Structure 1
Amino acid sequence: MSSPLQELCRAIAQNTSYDAFAPVFTLPQWDTLVGYLQAIDLPPGQVLIDQGAQDRAVFFIESGALSVHVVGDKGQMQLAILNPGSVVGEGSFFSRLPRSANVVATGPARVWRMTPIRFAEMSNRQPNLALELVMALGAVIAKRMVNKPKRVAVT
Protein backbone atom coordinates (compact mmCIF):
# COMPACT_ATOMS: atom_id res chain seq x y z
CA MET A 1 0.00 0.00 0.00
CA SER A 2 1.42 3.39 -0.95
CA SER A 3 -1.42 5.60 0.26
CA PRO A 4 -0.84 8.76 2.29
CA LEU A 5 -2.76 6.86 4.98
CA GLN A 6 -0.29 3.95 5.02
CA GLU A 7 1.10 4.83 8.44
CA LEU A 8 -2.39 5.43 9.88
CA CYS A 9 -3.52 2.04 8.51
CA ARG A 10 -0.51 0.38 10.14
CA ALA A 11 -1.21 2.11 13.47
CA ILE A 12 -4.87 1.05 13.39
CA ALA A 13 -3.94 -2.54 12.50
CA GLN A 14 -1.41 -2.69 15.37
CA ASN A 15 -3.71 -1.11 17.98
CA THR A 16 -4.72 -3.90 20.36
CA SER A 17 -6.29 -1.71 23.05
CA TYR A 18 -9.71 -2.61 24.44
CA ASP A 19 -11.35 0.38 22.72
CA ALA A 20 -9.45 0.11 19.43
CA PHE A 21 -10.84 1.82 16.34
CA ALA A 22 -11.21 -1.11 13.92
CA PRO A 23 -12.93 -0.27 10.64
CA VAL A 24 -13.03 -2.94 7.94
CA PHE A 25 -11.95 -1.06 4.83
CA THR A 26 -10.55 -2.36 1.56
CA LEU A 27 -7.42 -0.73 0.13
CA PRO A 28 -9.49 1.25 -2.41
CA GLN A 29 -11.71 2.48 0.44
CA TRP A 30 -8.64 3.71 2.37
CA ASP A 31 -7.53 5.54 -0.78
CA THR A 32 -10.99 7.14 -1.03
CA LEU A 33 -11.06 8.03 2.67
CA VAL A 34 -7.89 10.12 2.43
CA GLY A 35 -9.78 12.60 0.26
CA TYR A 36 -12.04 13.41 3.20
CA LEU A 37 -9.30 13.81 5.81
CA GLN A 38 -6.74 16.49 6.62
CA ALA A 39 -3.34 15.63 8.13
CA ILE A 40 -2.28 17.72 11.11
CA ASP A 41 1.22 17.59 12.61
CA LEU A 42 1.25 18.56 16.29
CA PRO A 43 4.32 19.74 18.20
CA PRO A 44 4.70 18.67 21.85
CA GLY A 45 2.23 20.50 24.07
CA GLN A 46 -0.08 21.51 21.21
CA VAL A 47 -3.75 21.57 22.20
CA LEU A 48 -5.87 19.59 19.74
CA ILE A 49 -9.23 19.85 21.55
CA ASP A 50 -10.30 22.53 24.04
CA GLN A 51 -12.74 21.54 26.79
CA GLY A 52 -16.02 23.39 26.18
CA ALA A 53 -15.33 24.12 22.50
CA GLN A 54 -18.12 23.63 19.95
CA ASP A 55 -15.86 21.95 17.35
CA ARG A 56 -17.20 18.57 16.16
CA ALA A 57 -14.25 17.18 14.19
CA VAL A 58 -13.09 13.65 14.89
CA PHE A 59 -9.37 12.79 14.85
CA PHE A 60 -7.55 9.58 13.95
CA ILE A 61 -4.12 9.23 15.59
CA GLU A 62 -1.33 8.14 13.23
CA SER A 63 1.68 8.75 15.50
CA GLY A 64 2.53 10.14 18.90
CA ALA A 65 0.38 10.15 22.00
CA LEU A 66 -2.38 12.46 23.17
CA SER A 67 -3.28 13.22 26.77
CA VAL A 68 -6.98 13.58 27.58
CA HIS A 69 -7.71 15.62 30.70
CA VAL A 70 -10.44 17.70 32.28
CA VAL A 71 -10.10 20.91 34.23
CA GLY A 72 -12.47 21.32 37.15
CA ASP A 73 -12.79 22.95 40.55
CA LYS A 74 -9.95 20.83 41.93
CA GLY A 75 -7.56 21.42 39.05
CA GLN A 76 -6.60 19.20 36.17
CA MET A 77 -7.22 15.44 36.07
CA GLN A 78 -5.80 13.16 33.41
CA LEU A 79 -8.37 10.70 32.03
CA ALA A 80 -6.44 8.80 29.39
CA ILE A 81 -3.45 8.61 27.09
CA LEU A 82 -4.43 7.78 23.52
CA ASN A 83 -1.88 6.13 21.26
CA PRO A 84 -1.45 5.55 17.52
CA GLY A 85 -4.39 3.84 15.87
CA SER A 86 -6.90 5.34 18.29
CA VAL A 87 -9.55 7.99 17.76
CA VAL A 88 -10.50 11.11 19.70
CA GLY A 89 -13.34 13.60 19.42
CA GLU A 90 -15.95 10.93 18.72
CA GLY A 91 -18.33 12.08 21.47
CA SER A 92 -18.91 15.60 20.12
CA PHE A 93 -18.86 14.33 16.54
CA PHE A 94 -22.06 12.39 17.27
CA SER A 95 -23.67 14.40 20.07
CA ARG A 96 -23.12 17.97 18.85
CA LEU A 97 -22.37 18.81 22.51
CA PRO A 98 -19.38 20.92 23.57
CA ARG A 99 -16.06 19.12 24.06
CA SER A 100 -15.94 17.32 27.41
CA ALA A 101 -12.15 17.39 27.87
CA ASN A 102 -8.87 18.89 26.71
CA VAL A 103 -6.65 16.84 24.40
CA VAL A 104 -2.96 17.73 24.14
CA ALA A 105 -0.03 16.18 22.27
CA THR A 106 2.46 14.69 24.77
CA GLY A 107 5.19 14.76 22.11
CA PRO A 108 5.31 15.17 18.34
CA ALA A 109 2.14 13.66 16.89
CA ARG A 110 0.31 13.32 13.59
CA VAL A 111 -3.47 13.08 13.41
CA TRP A 112 -5.99 13.03 10.59
CA ARG A 113 -9.05 15.26 10.99
CA MET A 114 -12.53 14.68 9.59
CA THR A 115 -15.00 17.53 9.91
CA PRO A 116 -18.77 17.03 9.94
CA ILE A 117 -18.99 18.80 6.56
CA ARG A 118 -16.50 16.39 4.97
CA PHE A 119 -18.34 13.46 6.58
CA ALA A 120 -21.63 14.69 5.09
CA GLU A 121 -19.98 14.85 1.66
CA MET A 122 -18.62 11.33 2.11
CA SER A 123 -22.07 10.11 3.22
CA ASN A 124 -23.58 11.41 -0.02
CA ARG A 125 -20.83 10.15 -2.33
CA GLN A 126 -19.61 7.02 -0.54
CA PRO A 127 -22.44 5.77 1.72
CA ASN A 128 -20.86 2.33 2.37
CA LEU A 129 -17.60 3.95 3.45
CA ALA A 130 -19.45 6.40 5.70
CA LEU A 131 -21.51 3.60 7.25
CA GLU A 132 -18.43 1.51 8.08
CA LEU A 133 -16.72 4.58 9.56
CA VAL A 134 -19.63 5.43 11.87
CA MET A 135 -20.07 1.80 12.90
CA ALA A 136 -16.36 1.65 13.88
CA LEU A 137 -16.64 4.98 15.74
CA GLY A 138 -19.81 3.78 17.47
CA ALA A 139 -18.00 0.63 18.59
CA VAL A 140 -15.27 2.78 20.18
CA ILE A 141 -17.87 4.80 22.10
CA ALA A 142 -19.73 1.65 23.20
CA LYS A 143 -16.53 0.04 24.49
CA ARG A 144 -15.44 3.21 26.28
CA MET A 145 -18.89 3.58 27.90
CA VAL A 146 -18.88 0.10 29.47
CA ASN A 147 -15.32 0.57 30.79
CA LYS A 148 -15.75 2.96 33.76
CA PRO A 149 -12.23 4.47 33.68
CA LYS A 150 -12.55 5.13 29.93
CA ARG A 151 -16.15 6.39 30.09
CA VAL A 152 -15.12 9.90 31.05
CA ALA A 153 -12.62 9.96 28.17
CA VAL A 154 -15.32 10.07 25.48
CA THR A 155 -14.57 13.47 23.99
Structure 2
Amino acid sequence: MSIQNLSRAIAENLSADAFALTLSVAQWDTLAGYLQPIETGIGDVLISQGTHDRSVFFIESGAVSVHRVSSKEQMRLAVLSPGSVVGEGSFFSREPHAANVVVTGAGRVWRLTAVRFTEMSNRQPNMALDIAMALGAVIAKRMAHRSKRVAVT
Protein backbone atom coordinates (compact mmCIF):
# COMPACT_ATOMS: atom_id res chain seq x y z
CA MET A 1 0.00 0.00 0.00
CA SER A 2 1.44 3.36 -1.02
CA ILE A 3 2.16 5.99 1.60
CA GLN A 4 2.38 8.77 -1.00
CA ASN A 5 -1.23 9.87 -0.37
CA LEU A 6 -0.36 10.42 3.31
CA SER A 7 2.75 12.34 2.26
CA ARG A 8 0.61 14.56 0.03
CA ALA A 9 -2.03 15.10 2.75
CA ILE A 10 0.64 16.19 5.23
CA ALA A 11 2.26 18.53 2.70
CA GLU A 12 -1.11 20.11 1.84
CA ASN A 13 -2.28 20.59 5.45
CA LEU A 14 -2.03 24.30 6.16
CA SER A 15 -3.82 24.31 9.54
CA ALA A 16 -2.28 26.18 12.47
CA ASP A 17 -1.36 22.90 14.18
CA ALA A 18 -0.14 21.10 11.05
CA PHE A 19 2.17 18.10 11.35
CA ALA A 20 5.13 19.44 9.36
CA LEU A 21 7.23 16.52 8.17
CA THR A 22 9.27 16.76 4.99
CA LEU A 23 10.80 13.52 3.74
CA SER A 24 12.06 12.28 0.39
CA VAL A 25 10.04 9.69 -1.53
CA ALA A 26 12.53 7.02 -0.43
CA GLN A 27 12.22 8.11 3.22
CA TRP A 28 8.42 7.97 3.02
CA ASP A 29 8.71 4.43 1.65
CA THR A 30 11.00 3.51 4.56
CA LEU A 31 8.57 5.09 7.03
CA ALA A 32 5.72 3.03 5.57
CA GLY A 33 7.46 -0.09 6.85
CA TYR A 34 7.00 1.13 10.43
CA LEU A 35 3.35 2.16 10.05
CA GLN A 36 0.13 0.17 9.92
CA PRO A 37 -2.44 1.46 7.39
CA ILE A 38 -6.01 1.24 8.67
CA GLU A 39 -9.15 1.75 6.60
CA THR A 40 -11.65 3.64 8.76
CA GLY A 41 -15.42 3.81 8.76
CA ILE A 42 -17.76 6.33 10.34
CA GLY A 43 -18.09 5.59 14.04
CA ASP A 44 -14.78 3.71 14.37
CA VAL A 45 -12.99 4.58 17.62
CA LEU A 46 -9.28 5.28 17.15
CA ILE A 47 -8.62 6.36 20.72
CA SER A 48 -10.64 5.82 23.90
CA GLN A 49 -10.38 8.36 26.68
CA GLY A 50 -8.53 6.89 29.67
CA THR A 51 -6.64 4.18 27.77
CA HIS A 52 -2.86 3.89 27.91
CA ASP A 53 -2.11 3.07 24.25
CA ARG A 54 0.79 5.23 23.01
CA SER A 55 -0.02 4.94 19.31
CA VAL A 56 0.00 7.99 17.07
CA PHE A 57 -2.38 8.15 14.09
CA PHE A 58 -1.59 10.10 10.92
CA ILE A 59 -4.74 10.98 8.97
CA GLU A 60 -4.42 10.34 5.24
CA SER A 61 -8.10 10.79 4.34
CA GLY A 62 -11.42 11.20 6.09
CA ALA A 63 -11.98 13.09 9.33
CA VAL A 64 -12.03 12.45 13.07
CA SER A 65 -13.73 14.15 15.99
CA VAL A 66 -11.87 14.63 19.26
CA HIS A 67 -14.16 14.86 22.27
CA ARG A 68 -13.92 14.55 26.03
CA VAL A 69 -16.61 12.91 28.12
CA SER A 70 -17.26 13.91 31.72
CA SER A 71 -19.94 12.85 34.16
CA LYS A 72 -21.99 15.86 33.04
CA GLU A 73 -21.40 16.24 29.30
CA GLN A 74 -19.58 15.37 26.13
CA MET A 75 -17.54 18.25 24.72
CA ARG A 76 -16.18 18.34 21.16
CA LEU A 77 -12.63 19.64 21.24
CA ALA A 78 -11.61 19.46 17.60
CA VAL A 79 -12.32 18.01 14.18
CA LEU A 80 -9.16 16.86 12.42
CA SER A 81 -8.78 16.37 8.69
CA PRO A 82 -6.23 14.85 6.29
CA GLY A 83 -2.62 15.61 7.13
CA SER A 84 -3.32 15.92 10.85
CA VAL A 85 -2.03 13.74 13.66
CA VAL A 86 -3.74 12.49 16.81
CA GLY A 87 -2.49 10.60 19.88
CA GLU A 88 0.60 12.76 20.27
CA GLY A 89 0.05 13.66 23.93
CA SER A 90 0.00 10.11 25.27
CA PHE A 91 2.79 9.11 22.89
CA PHE A 92 5.16 11.39 24.80
CA SER A 93 3.62 11.51 28.28
CA ARG A 94 2.77 7.82 28.72
CA GLU A 95 -0.36 9.13 30.45
CA PRO A 96 -3.88 7.90 29.63
CA HIS A 97 -5.56 9.53 26.64
CA ALA A 98 -7.35 12.75 27.55
CA ALA A 99 -10.11 12.35 24.95
CA ASN A 100 -11.96 10.03 22.59
CA VAL A 101 -11.17 10.12 18.89
CA VAL A 102 -13.96 8.87 16.63
CA VAL A 103 -14.05 8.70 12.84
CA THR A 104 -16.62 11.10 11.37
CA GLY A 105 -15.57 10.72 7.73
CA ALA A 106 -14.46 7.36 6.34
CA GLY A 107 -10.91 7.17 5.04
CA ARG A 108 -7.48 5.87 5.97
CA VAL A 109 -5.13 6.49 8.87
CA TRP A 110 -1.61 5.22 9.47
CA ARG A 111 -0.76 3.98 12.98
CA LEU A 112 2.67 4.25 14.58
CA THR A 113 2.97 2.22 17.78
CA ALA A 114 5.53 2.97 20.49
CA VAL A 115 7.22 -0.38 19.80
CA ARG A 116 7.63 0.39 16.09
CA PHE A 117 8.89 3.90 16.93
CA THR A 118 11.56 2.34 19.16
CA GLU A 119 12.58 0.05 16.31
CA MET A 120 12.75 3.06 13.99
CA SER A 121 14.85 4.93 16.56
CA ASN A 122 17.39 2.11 16.48
CA ARG A 123 17.44 1.61 12.70
CA GLN A 124 16.59 5.08 11.36
CA PRO A 125 17.55 7.51 14.16
CA ASN A 126 17.44 10.65 12.00
CA MET A 127 13.95 9.82 10.74
CA ALA A 128 12.76 9.04 14.27
CA LEU A 129 14.15 12.36 15.47
CA ASP A 130 12.41 14.22 12.62
CA ILE A 131 9.10 12.58 13.53
CA ALA A 132 9.53 13.26 17.26
CA MET A 133 10.33 16.91 16.59
CA ALA A 134 7.34 17.29 14.26
CA LEU A 135 5.04 15.67 16.85
CA GLY A 136 6.47 17.92 19.56
CA ALA A 137 5.79 20.94 17.35
CA VAL A 138 2.14 19.87 17.01
CA ILE A 139 1.81 19.73 20.79
CA ALA A 140 3.46 23.14 21.17
CA LYS A 141 1.16 24.67 18.55
CA ARG A 142 -1.94 23.14 20.13
CA MET A 143 -0.88 24.27 23.60
CA ALA A 144 -0.25 27.84 22.39
CA HIS A 145 -3.91 28.26 21.35
CA ARG A 146 -6.37 28.22 24.22
CA SER A 147 -9.09 26.60 22.09
CA LYS A 148 -6.74 23.83 20.87
CA ARG A 149 -5.02 23.24 24.23
CA VAL A 150 -7.55 20.67 25.37
CA ALA A 151 -7.27 18.84 22.06
CA VAL A 152 -3.82 17.39 22.84
CA THR A 153 -4.60 13.67 22.93
| Fold shared by both chains (TM-score > 0.5) | yes
Aligned to 1:81: 79
**Counterpart AA for 1:31:** D
1:22 CA displacement: 0.7
What secondary structure, in the 3-state scheme, does the structure 2 residue paired with 1:108 have?
A: strand
Aligned to 1:133: 131
**Per-residue CA distance 1:2-48 (angstroms, 9 max, x = gap):** x7111101111110000000112122111100000000111101111
Runs of 4+ in 1 over 6 A off after TM superposition: none
* TM-score, normalisation: structure 1: 0.97
Aligned to 1:41: 39
Aligned to 1:151: 149
1:118 CA displacement: 0.2
Is residue 100 of structure 2 the alignment partner of residue 116 of structure 1?
no
- Aligned-residue CA RMSD in angstroms? 0.9
Which whole-Å CA distance do the structure 1 matches of 2:60 and 2:81 have between them? 8
Q: Give structure 1 stretches of 5+ with no counterpart.
A: none
Aligned to 2:7: 9
**Counterpart AA for 1:43:** G
**Which of 87, 90, 99 is 1:92 aligned to?**
90
* TM-score, normalisation: structure 2: 0.98
Q: Give structure 2 stretches of 5+ with no counterpart.
A: none
Which whole-Å CA distance do the structure 2 matches of 1:122 and 1:142 have between them? 23
Which whole-Å CA distance do the structure 1 matches of 2:126 and 2:24 have between them? 11
- The sequence identity of aligned pairs, in percent, is 67
Q: When the two structures are aligned, how many residues end up with a matched partner?
A: 153
What secondary structure, in the 3-state scheme, does the structure 1 residue paired with 2:95 have?
A: coil
Aligned to 1:60: 58
Which whole-Å CA distance do the structure 1 matches of 2:107 and 2:68 have between them? 20
